[in-house]
Amino acid sequence: MNNITLKNGLSVSPVCLGAMMFGSTTSKEDSYAILDAFLDLGGNFIDTSNNYAHWIGTGDESETLLGQWMHDRGCRDKVIIGTKVGFDRKGIGAGLKKEQIEYWCDESLRKLQTDYIDLYYAHTDDADTPMEETIEAFESLVKKGKVRHLGGSNYDTWRFTEFNFTARDKGCTPYTVMQQRFSYLDCRLDLKPNYIFNENVGRERLRYLEDKDIPLVAYSCLLRGAYEDASRIPSNYIGGARYDTLVNMAKEKGVSGSALAVAWMCNAHRMKGFPRVIPLFSSSKLNHFIDNCSGADIVLTDEEMTILTNA
């Protein structure tokens, strides 16, 4: 994998390793094997959060394991760590108030065994906290060197835009990365979102990100194996001809459906109306993860990209 340089200056791998389940359902041994393999493949972009995976543990497992791994491998300077603040942790921690951001940032730094976070996301919008308070809290972390860049996840586009407009008006650091749910298959935007915000990505959001040159880190991008087994397509996604087009092309090229989906996302910026997309995924099985990463190196012609995009 060859790194790409984002507008904010970060040099990251074209795919991002999701560490959500590391240290919980994915054992330390398996987590280390996947992390080591990712580095060997040329990957460096790793995603976690201050609440992973609180629904089956305490919410400290992922960051703690990553901190141990970076310490054991001595590789902190070789990776780009993205973590998050603002979502619920067993009924506590939700929100983007000043004291919450400051407290959880220090907790993340402690668990990660580092003195800086490369990319710090607001895990979700907090409409109950004045935006200026959130902006100033994040800016304080940047000025102290605890955080290098900011991102927004699970935002409505207009709120993300308002944050950046207000931040720049105040001379503060804007969000330079967006993380949202996105995949090759189209989601059903007619369904009510699970949250007050819309975590899914539609065409308007894609055009906005393209225009502003803001990369989209795409979580849940492989739909839990749906590109290998059509029965796994979530009910809020549309299969049909688009799915068949991808699967048939994958067979023709001798690659897995998941790898081709990764390839399409990595190359989506070549098509009008798309920003740079960075697929974020993981697996508890090393061979599956390595195969999915191979998508970053699949060569797609302009004709193939057109066929996949227009299906």
Q: What is the pLDDT of residue 260?
A: 98
Give yes or no: 195 in active site.
no
Q: Is the pLDDT of residue 22 over 80?
A: yes
Q: What is the pLDDT of residue 249?
A: 98
Q: Which of 81, 6, 13 is nearest to 42 (CA)?
A: 13
Per-residue pLDDT, averaged over 294-308, amounts to 98
Q: What is the pLDDT of residue 200?
A: 87
Give the Cα-Cα-Cα angle 201, 14, 140 (nearest 5 degrees). Answer: 75
Q: What is the pLDDT of residues 241-279, one digit of tens each?
A: 999 999 999 999 999 999 999 999 999 999 999 999 999
> Domain segments of the chain: what residues?
4-310
Q: Is the pLDDT of residue 194 over 90?
A: no
**Catalytic member of 32, 52, 219, 243:** 52
Q: Is the pLDDT of residue 202 over 80?
A: yes
Q: What is the pLDDT of residue 212?
A: 98
Give residue 236's pLDDT band: very low, low, confident or very high (50, 70, 90).
very high
* Superfamily of segment(s) 4-310: NADP-dependent oxidoreductase domain (3.20.20.100)
Beta-carbon contacts of 14 under 8 Å, excluding residues fewer than 6 positions away, are 1, 2, 3, 4, 266, 278, 296
